[in-house]
Structure 1
Amino acid sequence: MNVILIILDSLRRDHVGDYGNRWILTPNLDALSAGSLRFDRAYPESLPSIPARRAIHTGLRTWPFRGWHRASRQDVGLYGWQPVPEDQTTLAEILHGAGYATLFVTDTLHQFRPGYNFHRGFDVFHFVRGQERDFYRPASLCPKGALEGVLLGGPQREHATRIMRQYLANTRGRRREEDWFAPRVFLKAMEFLRPAREAQPFFLLVDAYDPHEPWDPPDHYVRLYDEGYRGPEPQIASSGDSGWLEERQLERMRALYAAEVTMVDRWLGNFLDRAEELGLLESTLVLLLADHGHAFGEHGIAGKVPSALYPELLDIPFLLRHPEGRGAGRSAAYPASTHDVAPTILGALGLEPPSPVDGADLTPLLEGREPDRERPHLTAGYHDHAWARDEDYALIVRSDGSEPRLFDLREDPEQRRDVASERPEVARRMFEEYILADASGPLPEY
């Protein structure tokens, strides 16, 4: 059995049609979901991009970020933002050792540094250059006046301005839709399918950075969701308090994101159509998930903020399609996470990891059975904050246990009302019995 693993960056679960969204067009995601086991309670074990991907590639937890240090020449100072450790074996290395052809295409720029080790185990890998702040071209090539067309402000204005100047230099000269990033990633993945067919069995990882910001899809996608907007485009969130944005600007930002999601969906569909044309889907396991979501004014936040571990950041889509149709059209309530991906793929292929993993093999759910690991709660970490959830409550707390926010999921599923002061014993119990227990002791201090 072949394997195709698709990662979409920053895709919110509630922005996919088959997960209940009724205003964003995602026909290809919906069709894939209809033929898959759909996980309705999937969350990253850590975030943002690099920590989440480490868990996906290794089946091991990245949180609680022990051993973290800020790498030289690294502009991301978030705890846990570090390479795949040398002593951890990646999924690609395991499959390569089992005789699989291994192929990787991505435009997620943070994986380009060889020292980050995400390319390990792949026979072929292709990096699509130019996303966000990738130093692909000199920033001085930013077209004159282009920044004036972007809405810049908020708590990280200077950082957002640097990103946009570099991004506009990188994307200068685009003409056709095929020049945008999601099309380029999926077109390259489509190229890989033909040689992969000749080298079966294969493992193909397609990691698309979209719908991550900046959001600048071609106009025909934007017109699906918004017309009549006048003013600089809110293509980047300047992560933090959303109060700097007017409601019309937030509405436009949501429309740009929705348009980007629909563009990604279209090219995902083109890729899956090609796989079907080549006769590959009848013998290929397909997994699709996101690394995290993105906030658009909910809870007063725009972007990704460590203290804002609400559903808009943590609820991710996760689809598992078996070539024989096992589990198709069903949903699973079992809490799934990013570190379950590698053990699930290995379980489907009948392969054992060379050393124990932290994640669960989810394949028993395809047969209507429960995984071997009971999971009455989940925990996650983002920089200096931690999160825990069970059937009844969700807890957001600083890593030292201070500033807890507690939400009663039975009465408040959108997590609008903090009840930590009313039920301090619940917050304390969840921090001690879930977060500290899963971390095997106190969380690191930096």
Structure 2
Amino acid sequence: MRAIFVLFDTLNRRFLPPYGAKDVVAPHFADLAGRSVTFDNAYGGSMPCMPARRELHTGRHNFLHRGWGPLEPFDDSMPELLSRAGVYTHLVTDHQHYWADGGATYHPRFRTFEFFRGQEGDEWKGHVADPPVPDNQAPTVTNGDLRRQDRVNRLYMTSEAEHPQTRTFDAGLHFIRTNADEDNWFLQIETFDPHEPFFTYDDYRKLYDTAYDGPELDWPDYVRVREPQETVDRTRSLYSALLTMCDHSLGRVLAAMDEHAMWDDTMLIVGTDHGFLLGEHDWWGKNTPPYFQETIHLPLFVWDPRSRRSDERRTSLVQTIDLAPTLLDYFGQPVPPDMQGAALAHTVACDAPVREAGLFGIFNGHVNVTDGRWVYLRAPARPGNQPLSEYTLTPTLMRGRMPVEVLREATLAPPFKFTKGVSPLRVAGTAYTDPHAFGSMLFDLGTDPGQRRPVIDDEQELRMATLMRDLMVASEAPAEQFERMGLPATGPLAQEHLLCREQAGQVETSRRRPLRAEDFPRSRIDVTTPISTLLAEPAAVSVLRAHLGDLVDGPLPGEVLELGLLDVAGVAVGLIPTATLHRIADELAEL
């Protein structure tokens, strides 16, 4: 038995022909659907990139206990368990987060692995001098250092053959050719694409020629859309072009399976970690707004040579946590008791259901649940997004290590069942946004698949909130998560625990047009002035401290210091409420 898992990052379901896309060139995804089972109700769980990959290893949710971070010493790891059982496991990837602090313990769980450098802001090629900035590049406010590095990296990708996606699939095909006559192996081919930046080549871009001559935005900030529709359309076309390049790479894998007659004894899984908002709900990106369908409802294709089902669709609700148990089961290995997911062999064969509802979310964000028809996005019960704690034995962040100031305050927490008797560190959780500002929302996907009309329905909210609470209990959510969400850990839920009606005003406010500079008084120093300049003026510091409190005195990243308060309010939604920003603007104007 062999298995191949092709993992894309940020593969939008709605841009794929098997899911209804009409204007995206992706013939190999259409071919894949004809050769496999297509899942119509596949959802992510822990978001975004590395939390999702932790689920792929562990088969359990982690977003209630930890933000972005590595595999923990107590975590089960599907590829490691396979390796211990004698299955040869190999990873080929260009996903740069594997060699950063927050992802450095994943790849060693494979027996062998290969890396290909250069995606996004991967700290790869070293140029002391700043690289050229294209004249037509659209202005952005975040990730300045990473964008600079990305411009350097692109200098070394002048052809498709040099692109890390191509090199990753080259390596995957080399493994297939080398081991086509061998048995008992698992190959994970993983590319960062079509994650932003949406960088590809003319052969793909010309397929979506829009005669656009405005600013190029191939890496949007995660903020509300302010650009005109033609820029939004152009960015979507750049994403589509990169997706078509991904489709070409997928086609190479399908051709290799044909060439080596692998369909009789090789499982193929093709999926992703999450999607991306490309102007839907008036947002770019992910993570800041709640996880709408565009970012959490995923494409998933499975060919299982045991049941040999192809060109069929499945409606059962499945999640990312199911993939580790599925692969362990396929290779005849037991599923560890800490895995929450279910093996999907019977679901692939005959659409056998594996769950009533699925939990999903991001640490410090909304907690969410779906039963496949209804989706409930629950915000914190109160402003401030507290209490929050992370539980870890590997205190690293996406890029870097947890500050010693945070670690000095850490305490040992009692073990969870899934920590296998080990007491983790409890450290203060950080929230860069306040999801309370978005409010809680309930949607009926049967009548509103685009999630444009939140429903106030106490009976349905009570049912969904109960499903959520029960799944949180099953995930051993820490006590502070129940407090943050305003949910009891035990006992029946009641009217007092419902939030949609109470928070309807926040939902409406969050949908208003984004704030602009012209909404505020202009003066010598104002809400567009860099924060570093404001902090250099004692009178301005007094104004800020009066309205923002400890935020002013806390350590601020260098990138934040170069932003104005208006930009910060747009990126870190809820951190500076609109009314507070207006009061600050008025008082700064008087200085």
Q: Name the counterpart of 2:285.
A: 303
- Look up the SS of the partner of 1:281 in the other structure: coil
For the residues of structure 2 that align with 1:345 and 1:314, how far apart are their CA atoms?
22
Question: Is the alpha carbon distance of 1:399 and 1:35 closer, same or farther for their aligned partners in structure 2, counting shifts above 3 Å?
Answer: farther
Q: Name the counterpart of 2:300.
A: 318
- Asked whether the equivalents of residues 306 and 385 of structure 1 are also in contact (C-alpha less than 8 Å), the reply is no
Q: Name the counterpart of 1:396.
A: 377
Structure-to-structure mapping, 1:162-173, within 5 angstroms: 162-173=145-156
Offset, 1:269: 0.8
Offset, 1:443: 5.3
Q: Name the counterpart of 2:142.
A: 158
Q: Name the counterpart of 1:73.
A: none
Q: Deviations over 1:86-139 (max 9, x none)?
A: 111211111111211111011111112476321133221011111112111236
Alignment equivalent of 1:120, drawn from 108, 131, 137: 108
Q: Name the counterpart of 2:414.
A: none
Q: Name the counterpart of 1:382.
A: 362
Offset, 1:429: 4.1
Offset, 1:217: 0.9
For the residues of structure 1 that align with 2:189 and 2:130, how far apart are their CA atoms?
29
Count of residues paired in the alignment: 422
For the residues of structure 2 that align with 1:391 and 1:175, how far apart are their CA atoms?
44
- Asked whether the equivalents of residues 104 and 126 of structure 1 are also in contact (C-alpha less than 8 Å), the reply is yes
Q: Name the counterpart of 1:72.
A: none
Offset, 1:294: 0.5
Which has the larger displacement, 189-198 or 397-406?
397-406
- Asked whether the equivalents of residues 150 and 232 of structure 1 are also in contact (C-alpha less than 8 Å), the reply is yes
Matching residue's letter, 2:377: I
- Asked whether the equivalents of residues 133 and 151 of structure 2 are also in contact (C-alpha less than 8 Å), the reply is no
Q: Name the counterpart of 2:42.
A: 42
- Look up the SS of the partner of 2:97 in the other structure: helix
Question: Is the alpha carbon distance of 1:223 and 1:142 closer, same or farther for their aligned partners in structure 2, counting shifts above 3 Å?
Answer: farther
- Asked whether the equivalents of residues 315 and 351 of structure 2 are also in contact (C-alpha less than 8 Å), the reply is no
Residue 85 in structure 1 maps to residue 59 in structure 2: no
Question: Is the alpha carbon distance of 1:366 and 1:136 closer, same or farther for their aligned partners in structure 2, counting shifts above 3 Å?
Answer: same
Q: Deviations over 1:385-444 (max 9, x none)?
A: 12111254211122448521111223212110122xx3245334423x122221115553
Matching residue's letter, 2:349: E
For the residues of structure 2 that align with 1:152 and 1:108, how far apart are their CA atoms?
26
Offset, 1:158: 3.1
Q: Name the counterpart of 1:60.
A: 60
Residue 184 in structure 1 maps to residue 167 in structure 2: yes
Residue 259 in structure 1 maps to residue 241 in structure 2: yes
- Look up the SS of the partner of 2:369 in the other structure: strand
Matching residue's letter, 1:377: A
Offset, 1:2: 0.2
For the residues of structure 1 that align with 2:262 and 2:73, how far apart are their CA atoms?
33
Question: Is the alpha carbon distance of 1:194 and 1:142 closer, same or farther for their aligned partners in structure 2, counting shifts above 3 Å?
Answer: farther
Q: Name the counterpart of 1:22.
A: 22
Residue 282 in structure 1 maps to residue 282 in structure 2: no
Please list every run of at least 4 consecutive aligned residues from structure 1 whose deviation after the TM superposition is greater than 6 angstroms.
Answer: none
Offset, 1:141: 5.3
Q: Name the counterpart of 1:214.
A: 197
- Look up the SS of the partner of 1:120 in the other structure: helix
Matching residue's letter, 1:118: Y
For the pair shown, the structure with the greater C-alpha radius of gyration is 2
Matching residue's letter, 1:195: T
Matching residue's letter, 2:167: R
Offset, 1:177: 1.2
Q: Deviations over 1:44-100 (max 9, x none)?
A: 012110111110122122232x1x3xxxxxxxxxxx211111111211111111211
For the residues of structure 2 that align with 1:229 and 1:257, how far apart are their CA atoms?
15
- Look up the SS of the partner of 1:353 in the other structure: coil
**What TM-score do the two structures reach when normalised by structure 2?**
0.68
Q: Name the counterpart of 1:368.
A: 350
For the residues of structure 2 that align with 1:198 and 1:82, how far apart are their CA atoms?
37
Q: Name the counterpart of 1:132.
A: 120
Q: Which has the higher contact order (CA 8 A, sep 6+)?
A: 1
For the residues of structure 2 that align with 1:54 and 1:15, how far apart are their CA atoms?
26
- Asked whether the equivalents of residues 400 and 443 of structure 1 are also in contact (C-alpha less than 8 Å), the reply is no
Matching residue's letter, 1:100: V
- Asked whether the equivalents of residues 38 and 332 of structure 1 are also in contact (C-alpha less than 8 Å), the reply is yes
Alignment equivalent of 1:329, drawn from 294, 311, 324: 311
- Asked whether the equivalents of residues 36 and 325 of structure 1 are also in contact (C-alpha less than 8 Å), the reply is no
Q: What is the aligned-residue RMSD (CA, Å)?
A: 2.1
Residue 437 in structure 1 maps to residue 470 in structure 2: yes
For the residues of structure 1 that align with 2:127 and 2:76, how far apart are their CA atoms?
37
For the residues of structure 1 that align with 2:380 and 2:6, how far apart are their CA atoms?
31
Q: Deviations over 1:273-318 (max 9, x none)?
A: 1233233333210111110001111111111134331111111111
Which has the larger displacement, 17-26 or 270-279?
270-279
- Asked whether the equivalents of residues 238 and 303 of structure 1 are also in contact (C-alpha less than 8 Å), the reply is yes
Question: Is the alpha carbon distance of 1:314 and 1:354 closer, same or farther for their aligned partners in structure 2, counting shifts above 3 Å?
Answer: closer
Q: Name the counterpart of 1:76.
A: none
Q: Name the counterpart of 2:544.
A: none
Matching residue's letter, 1:397: R
Q: Name the counterpart of 2:457.
A: 423
- Asked whether the equivalents of residues 2 and 265 of structure 2 are also in contact (C-alpha less than 8 Å), the reply is yes
Residue 341 in structure 1 maps to residue 323 in structure 2: yes
- Asked whether the equivalents of residues 101 and 199 of structure 1 are also in contact (C-alpha less than 8 Å), the reply is no
Q: Gaps spanning 5+ residues in structure 1: where? A: 69-79
For the residues of structure 2 that align with 1:101 and 1:42, how far apart are their CA atoms?
28
Q: Name the counterpart of 2:426.
A: none
Q: Name the counterpart of 1:412.
A: 448
Q: Name the counterpart of 1:74.
A: none
- Asked whether the equivalents of residues 211 and 260 of structure 1 are also in contact (C-alpha less than 8 Å), the reply is yes
- Look up the SS of the partner of 2:208 in the other structure: coil
- Asked whether the equivalents of residues 239 and 302 of structure 1 are also in contact (C-alpha less than 8 Å), the reply is yes
Q: Gaps spanning 5+ residues in structure 2: where? A: 383-435, 485-591
Matching residue's letter, 2:343: D
Question: Is the alpha carbon distance of 1:352 and 1:141 closer, same or farther for their aligned partners in structure 2, counting shifts above 3 Å?
Answer: farther
For the residues of structure 1 that align with 2:315 and 2:113, how far apart are their CA atoms?
35
Question: Is the alpha carbon distance of 1:428 and 1:443 closer, same or farther for their aligned partners in structure 2, counting shifts above 3 Å?
Answer: farther
For the residues of structure 2 that align with 1:99 and 1:8, how far apart are their CA atoms?
27
Residue 193 in structure 1 maps to residue 171 in structure 2: no
For the residues of structure 2 that align with 1:443 and 1:108, how far apart are their CA atoms?
33
For the residues of structure 1 that align with 2:129 and 2:293, how far apart are their CA atoms?
38
Q: Name the counterpart of 1:352.
A: 334
Offset, 1:324: 5.2
- Asked whether the equivalents of residues 70 and 104 of structure 2 are also in contact (C-alpha less than 8 Å), the reply is yes
For the residues of structure 2 that align with 1:139 and 1:405, how far apart are their CA atoms?
47
